[in-house]
Amino acid sequence: MATLIDGKAVSARIRGEIRDEVAELAKAGKVPGLAVVLVGEDPASKVYVNNKKKACAEVGFRSFEYLLPATTTNEELLSLIDTLNEDPEVDGILVQLPLPKGLDERAVIERINPAKDVDAFHPDNVGRIMTGQYRFLPCTPAGVMELIHETGTEVCGKNCVVVGRSNIVGKPMAMLLLAENGTVTVCHSRTRDLASVCAGADILVVAVGRAKMVTADMVKPGAVVIDVGMDRDENGKLCGDVDFDSVKEVASAITPVPGGVGPMTIAMLMKNTLTAFKLRRGNK
């Protein structure tokens, strides 16, 4: 039976550490500020934005919220980003994705000042991750690494398999595992014999958006399994990309859904915002 990797507990500890540090900064009259921009009425995005707002309040950040209609033009959105780039009270800028149809997601990401890009999506920050000279790490992959470390697992020398090759999770996840000297395989929709590749993993990270796709026969006994997915099963119940009930009998450690990776993403966003605050003021 696998050990449950409690993302809620790890996240709470990280947020507590940030809160203590911000409390000291507040004595000098300065605290980090995070601007979150939401365009349109996507229900899931609204929930995410609200969670980020709550997290800011918990750790003592200033929170700037911009709720724009779906009719917002590219020019209007880019103009807002320009304003936030110049605002000395704003240390981090996050534009909630996906954007409504008609808006240029790439142009929006590239318009954000890389020093305020706390999602680490800007090409400048992506390049820095590739070379190991990063300011920030993408929130979800960084959270996954924290959870792997929480198990006491050493990544060095391990066979690491990442299922999914998105720019937000899969690709940067591979780079972070590689940075700790893991031997990394990235799988995707064209991978041949996916089950066999997964079954060779000491560390298996799954981020594809397909409910319960990874089953027990695809998991090496004793593997650490990190489930990044957030799906609905045939009964409409929240679940991940991993068939939790069967895989927990094989793995040594596994994240639940919900309560695994999800809380870590927001905790790492808070950590990135604090880092941005420090870097902008010349102290690391």
pLDDT of the residue at 283: 63
| Residue 282 predicted with pLDDT over 80 | no
Task: Look up 52 and say whether it is catalytic.
Answer: yes
Which residue among 91, 116, 117, 119 is the active-site one?
119
Q: What CATH number corresponds to the domain at position 154?
A: 3.40.50.720
One domain for residues 103 and 209: no
How do residues 49-58 score in pLDDT, each as one tens digit?
899 999 999 9
Which residue among 91, 96, 227, 241 is the active-site one?
96
> Binning pLDDT at 50, 70 and 90, where does residue 146 land?
very high
How many distinct structural domains can be found in the chain?
2
> Binning pLDDT at 50, 70 and 90, where does residue 48 land?
confident
Residue type, 240: G
Residue range(s) defining the domain that contains residue 96 = 29-114
Tell me what the pLDDT averaged over the chain comes to: 96
One domain for residues 149 and 96: no
The three-class DSSP label of residue 234 is coil
258 within domain boundaries? yes
Nearest to 13 by CA among 126, 150, 196, 176: 150
95 within domain boundaries? yes
Q: What CATH number corresponds to the domain at position 89?
A: 3.40.50.10860
One domain for residues 153 and 203: yes
pLDDT of the residue at 242: 98
pLDDT of the residue at 192: 96
One domain for residues 159 and 222: yes
89 within domain boundaries? yes
130 with 175: CB under 8 angstroms? Answer: yes
One domain for residues 101 and 145: no
Task: Look up 119 and say whether it is catalytic.
Answer: yes
Average pLDDT over residues 157-164: 98
19 within domain boundaries? no
CB environment 211-248: b (16+ within 10 A), e (fewer)? bbbbeeebbbeebbbbbbbbbeeeeeeebbbbbbebbb
14 within domain boundaries? no
- Identify the domain boundary among 114, 130, 163: 114
